[in-house]
C-alpha cells in the first residue's frame, strides 16, 4: 500500500485533511512541532514524525519511505522549495495547498526536474487555483474561440488566522494579471469589473489569484484577470494601501498585517464556515468581445480545500497523475472540483451569452 505524508498536519486545514483521510490511506502526519503533531496524530491512530525544513538530511530521511507528500505548512514562499527539493531527491510525489502566484510560477519552472525524477508536482491543491482553474477550463472547453477570461469570485465569509498571515505577507503595490500571454503588474485596486453573484451586479477588483499563472498554459488564453468582490470602501482601502506601499515600501504594511493576524482567531467559527459558500462567475470573451458567462458554486475555502487536496492525493497514490508540474485541472480535467465534491454547477443552467 502506498504511503503518504501530510506535512503541516497541526494547522487548521491540515487537521481537517488528516481527519478526512484517517483509516483510508497509509498516512503519516508531520510538522515542525512534535508536540502539536502528536496531539493530532494519536487520537486518529496515525503515525507521526517531526522534522524541520531547514535540515536537508533530516528531511530526506523523513521521506525515504514515503510515496507522496501533501505539503500544508505555509508560508509557502519559505517552505515550498525546501520540500520540493527533498521530494525531487527522494523521487516522492509533491502536492501543496499554496495559492501564492509567485511561488506557483517558480514551481512551474521545475517541470524538467520533476519529469526527470518521474514524479508529479501538483501545487495549488486547494480552492485556488484548483477550483478556479476547473471553471476557467470548463468555459474554454464550452467556448473554444475564447480570447479573454474574466473571473469574479464572491466575497469570503470566513477567514482563518493562517489566511490573514498569508495575505499580509503577500501585500504588494500591484496586482498580477495576464495580458498578451505574459504576466503583468497593474496598480492595486485599479482594475474593476461588475459581476452578478446571484443578488444583482456587484463590484469586484482584480486581485492576486494564482489562476492568472496556471490558467494561461491550461486554457491557451492570453488575457486573464481574476477579481474579488469588494464593497467600494474595501476597494478604496485596497487602492490606498497599494499607493501607500509605493511610497513607503511593502515591509511596514506587511508587519502591520502580521500583527493583525496574530490577533485574529486561530480558527473560523465552525457554524459560519459550514454555511459559507463561494460563487464564481467566469466571463469568456469571443473574438468580437461578446461575453459568455458560466457560474459555479463551491464550498467555503477550507471545506473545498480539504476535499480537493484529499482527492488529489488519492489519485496521485493511485498513479493517475502524470510526471511533471501541472495544475490539478490540467492533471485531472475540468470536472475535478465537482468530482471531488468541492463544487457544483447550479441546477439551473446559468451559462449565458451577451
pLDDT tens string 222-245: 999 999 998 755 655 555 555 555
3-state secondary structure of 334: coil
State mean pLDDT over 251-280: 60
* CB neighbour class for 313 (10 Å; exposed up to 12, middle 13-18, buried from 19): buried
3-state secondary structure of 120: strand
The model's pTM is: 0.88
State mean pLDDT over 138-163: 84
Looking at the domain covering 127-301+338-353, what would its CATH class be? Answer: alpha beta
The residue with greater pLDDT, 348 or 82, is 82
CA distance 317 to 300: 26
CB 142 within 8 A of CB 149: no
Specify the pairing of strand 120-122 against strand 47-50: unpaired
Q: Say yes or no to pLDDT of 275 above 70.
A: no
Going from the C-alpha of 113 to that of each of 57, 110, 307, the distances in angstroms are 20, 5, 28
**Superfamily name and number for 3-126+304-332:** NAD(P)-binding Rossmann-like Domain (3.40.50.720)
CB 108 within 8 A of CB 114: no
**Residue of 70, 59, 61 lying closest to 32 (CA atoms):** 59
Going from the C-alpha of 168 to that of each of 5, 26, 254, the distances in angstroms are 28, 35, 5
CA distance 150 to 328: 20
Location of each CATH 3.40.50.720 domain in the chain:
3-126+304-332
Location of each CATH 3.30.360.10 domain in the chain:
127-301+338-353
**Residue of 52, 108, 99, 54 lying closest to 77 (CA atoms):** 99
CA distance 185 to 188: 9
Task: Report the pLDDT value the prediction gives residue 122, as an integer from 0 to 100.
Answer: 98
State mean pLDDT over 38-60: 95
pLDDT tens string 308-334: 999 999 999 999 999 999 999 999 999
Task: Report the pLDDT value the prediction gives residue 179, as an integer from 0 to 100.
Answer: 97
Cell of 324: 511533471
Amino acid at each position: 500500500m502506498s504511503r503518504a505524508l501530510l506535512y503541516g498536519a497541526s494547522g487548521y486545514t491540515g487537521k481537517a485533511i488528516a481527519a478526512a483521510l484517517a483509516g483510508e490511506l497509509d498516512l503519516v502526519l508531520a510538522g515542525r512541532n512534535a508536540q502539536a503533531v502528536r496531539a493530532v496524530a494519536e487520537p486518529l491512530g496515525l503515525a507521526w514524525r517531526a522534522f524541520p525544513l531547514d535540515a536537508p538530511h533530516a528531511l530526506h530521511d523523513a521521506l525515504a519511505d514515503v510515496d507522496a507528500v501533501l505539503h500544508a505548512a505555509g508560508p509557502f514562499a519559505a517552505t515550498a522549495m525546501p520540500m520540493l527539493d527533498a521530494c525531487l531527491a527522494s523521487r516522492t510525489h509533491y502536492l501543496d495547498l499554496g495559492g501564492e502566484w509567485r511561488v506557483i510560477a517558480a514551481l512551474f519552472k521545475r517541470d524538467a526536474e520533476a519529469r526527470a525524477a518521474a514524479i508529479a508536482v501538483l501545487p495549488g491543491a486547494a480552492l485556488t487555483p484548483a477550483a478556479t482553474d476547473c471553471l476557467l477550463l470548463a468555459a474554454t472547453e464550452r467556448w473554444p474561440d475564447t480570447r479573454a477570461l474574466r473571473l469574479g469570485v464572491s466575497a469570503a465569509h470566513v477567514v482563518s488566522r493562517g489566511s490573514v498571515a498569508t495575505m499580509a505577507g503577500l501585500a504588494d503595490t500591484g496586482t498580477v494579471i495576464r495580458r498578451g500571454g505574459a504576466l503583468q503588474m497593474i496598480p492595486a485596486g485599479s482594475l474593476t469589473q461588475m459581476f452578478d453573484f446571484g443578488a444583482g451586479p456587484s463590484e469586484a477588483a482584480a486581485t492576486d489569484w494564482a489562476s492568472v499563472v496556471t490558467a494561461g498554459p491550461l486554457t491557451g488564453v492570453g488575457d486573464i484577470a481574476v477579481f474579488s468582490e469588494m464593497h467600494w470602501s474595501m476597494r478604496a482601502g485596497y487602492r490606498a494601501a497599494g499607493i501607500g506601499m509605493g511610497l513607503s515600501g511593502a515591509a511596514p504594511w506587511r508587519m502591520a498585517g502580521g500583527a493583525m493576524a496574530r490577533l485574529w482567531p486561530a480558527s473560523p467559527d465552525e457554524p459560519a464556515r459550514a454555511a459559507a459558500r463561494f460563487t464564481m462567475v467566469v466571463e469568456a470573451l469571443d473574438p468580437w468581445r461578446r461575453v459568455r458567462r458560466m457560474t459555479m458554486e463551491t464550498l467555503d475555502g477550507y471545506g473545498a480545500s480539504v476535499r480537493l487536496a484529499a482527492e488529489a492525493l488519492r489519485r496521485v497514490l493511485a498513479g493517475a497523475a502524470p510526471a511533471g508540474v501541472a495544475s490539478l485541472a490540467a492533471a485531472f480535467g475540468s470536472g475535478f472540483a465537482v468530482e471531488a465534491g468541492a463544487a457544483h454547477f447550479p441546477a439551473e443552467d446559468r451559462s449565458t451569452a451577451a
